[in-house]
């Protein structure tokens, strides 16, 4: 543990507690102390790096593994690595969404472009009214942003039966369900673990110099890529079973207790 130089945190259920949906003051204090002691602070999230919101931005992460590892940026939002859809991927998704009148948002390097049916996207209104705000989103009824650059991920809301029928065996992209009819769409093989490995290589850090914190399925690969893994008390069993240490829940000062255990302050 005394080799650790970088601390990597999932967001929802880890930094954010699941009851009040805020970052506990104890976590903010502990992270600040760890940063003052020289530890690198990294956020790993499915969110775009420009759509974290004020609470996360105020923590001043040194690096961000955004869109579930599809893009890695530094504190100045300079891009370290990214993985893009092909134009064919985008056109295939667009054809499907037209045919099924699906809600569709593409996440590009600079903004999230709302292509169609924003009223069907269950998280959109909440994010726009939160500390994330409206700035990261651009209405794109022309549906042409991908003609100028390519996105790194997408979100759709569509009938699960139709999604499975159209994309169940797709060779390049996969659908990760997050609600009854909502899906994050990512390139196959891209996850937080891939982003973490690319960041480690960029910083020339060894695996044992990294500790990561998580609570859910999309943190598994990231935890495998770290030398020391911490499961939140509210984590699923799969995360707890692979963790080197289990702290208390996110709303019970879990981050504070874990960083104290790691002697980060």
Q: What does the alpha-carbon distance between residue 97 and residue 184 come to, in Å, rounded to a whole number?
A: 14
Using the structure block, give the residue that is written with the tokens 């593994």: 65
Same domain, 163 and 228: no
Same domain, 130 and 179: yes
pLDDT at residue 233 in the model: 97
Average pLDDT over residues 122-141: 94
pLDDT at residue 139 in the model: 97
pLDDT at residue 39 in the model: 98
pTM: 0.92
Percentage, residues of the chain above pLDDT 90 = 91
pLDDT at residue 177 in the model: 85
Show the domain range for 178. Answer: 87-187
Q: Residue 1 domain-assigned?
A: no
Q: What is the pLDDT of residues 181-209, one digit of tens each?
A: 999 999 999 999 999 999 999 999 999 99
Q: What is the pLDDT of residues 42-79, one digit of tens each?
A: 999 999 999 999 999 999 999 999 999 999 999 999 99
Q: How confident is the model at residue 221 (pLDDT cuts 50, 70, 90)?
A: very high
**CATH number assigned to the domain comprising residue 145:** 3.30.1240.10
Of 113 and 18, more confident: 113
Q: Domain ends where: 187, 213, 244? A: 187
pLDDT at residue 179 in the model: 87
Q: Residue 142 domain-assigned?
A: yes
Domain count of the chain?
2
Q: How many CB atoms sit inside 10 A of residue 102's CB?
A: 23
Same domain, 210 and 178: no
Q: What does the alpha-carbon distance between residue 43 and residue 196 come to, in Å, rounded to a whole number?
A: 10
Q: Residue 148 domain-assigned?
A: yes
pLDDT at residue 20 tops 90: no
Query: Mean pLDDT over all residues of the chain?
Result: 95
Q: Domain ends where: 187, 208, 234? A: 187
Same domain, 109 and 181: yes
pLDDT at residue 1 in the model: 61
Q: How many CB atoms sit inside 10 A of residue 26's CB?
A: 17
Q: What does the alpha-carbon distance between residue 262 and residue 245 come to, in Å, rounded to a whole number?
A: 10
**CATH number assigned to the domain comprising residue 247:** 3.40.50.1000
């Amino acid at each position: 543990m005394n080799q650790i130089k970088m601390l990597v945190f999932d967001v929802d259920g880890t930094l954010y507690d699941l009851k009040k949906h805020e970052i506990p003051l104890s976590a903010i204090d502990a992270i600040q102390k760890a940063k003052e002691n020289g530890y690198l602070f990294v956020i790993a999230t499915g969110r775009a790096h420009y759509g974290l919101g004020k609470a996360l931005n105020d923590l001043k992460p040194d690096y961000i593994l955004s869109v579930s590892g599809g893009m890695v940026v530094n504190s100045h939002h300079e891009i370290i690595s990214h993985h893009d859809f092909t134009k064919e991927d985008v056109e295939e998704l667009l054809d499907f969404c037209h045919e099924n009148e699906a809600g569709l948002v593409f996440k590009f390097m600079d903004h999230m472009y709302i292509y169609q049916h924003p009223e069907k996207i269950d998280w959109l209104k909440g994010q726009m009214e939160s500390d994330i705000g409206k700035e990261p989103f651009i209405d794109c009824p022309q549906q042409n942003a991908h003609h100028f650059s390519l996105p790194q991920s997408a979100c759709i809301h569509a009938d699960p039966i139709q999604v499975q029928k159209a994309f169940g065996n797709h060779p390049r992209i996969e659908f990760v369900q997050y609600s009854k009819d909502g899906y994050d769409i990512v390139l196959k093989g891209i996850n937080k673990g891939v982003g973490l490995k690319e960041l480690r290589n960029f910083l020339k850090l060894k695996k044992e110099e990294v500790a990561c914190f998580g609570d859910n399925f999309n943190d598994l690969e990231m935890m495998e890529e770290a030398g020391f893994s911490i499961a939140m008390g509210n984590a699923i069993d799969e995360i707890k079973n692979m963790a080197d240490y289990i702290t208390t829940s996110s709303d019970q000062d879990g981050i504070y207790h874990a960083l104290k255990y790691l002697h980060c302050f």
